[in-house]
Amino acid sequence: MTRTPKADTSLDQQPPLYPTLDSWVTGYFTPMFLHRVGDGTRQRWCTEWWIHPEAIGRLTLLWTTWETARCDPSLKAAWWNDLDHHLPLLLAPDGAFRACRPQTTEQAGIHAPAELPLAEPAPLGYQET
Ligand SMILES: [Zn+2]
């Protein structure tokens, strides 16, 4: 019995709909998911999201898996599960944007806590104990 190869609809065959993370965030993510963020909500967003490494990491994962799921509908449920995991963490009051204050004409913007927690280098052999 000969099997017909499954059509390859991976990203190797199709260019991404959004070629950059920035284009996906501004063209898809923010219009689709940030309509509930604003005054009177506990969710936090930063218009300068690209200076927050945690946001870049989470959004890059969501963008790349969204592009993959766009070409393979069997992955869409998994993508929504990923979104439901990352979105509340990203927008949480204690999340990546917890210290953000946008720049105004009177004051500079703030995007990081005044003090970051430190980690001392681990001693040699610490994993062997
Ligand atoms: Zn910020």
pLDDT number for residue 23: 98
* Domain map (residue ranges) of the chain: 46-100
| Ligand 1 (single-atom ion) residues, CB below 5 Å | 46, 100, 111
pLDDT score of 114: 84
Average confidence (pLDDT) per 10 residues, the chain, 129 residues = 50 84 97 87 92 97 97 96 97 94 86 88 88
- How many A from CA of 99 to the centre of ligand 1? 7
pLDDT score recorded for residue 53 = 95
CA distance 76 to 70: 7
The helices-and-strands tally (H runs, E runs) of the chain is 4, 0
What amino acid is encoded at 22 in this protein? D
44 neighbors 92 (Cβ within 8 angstroms): yes
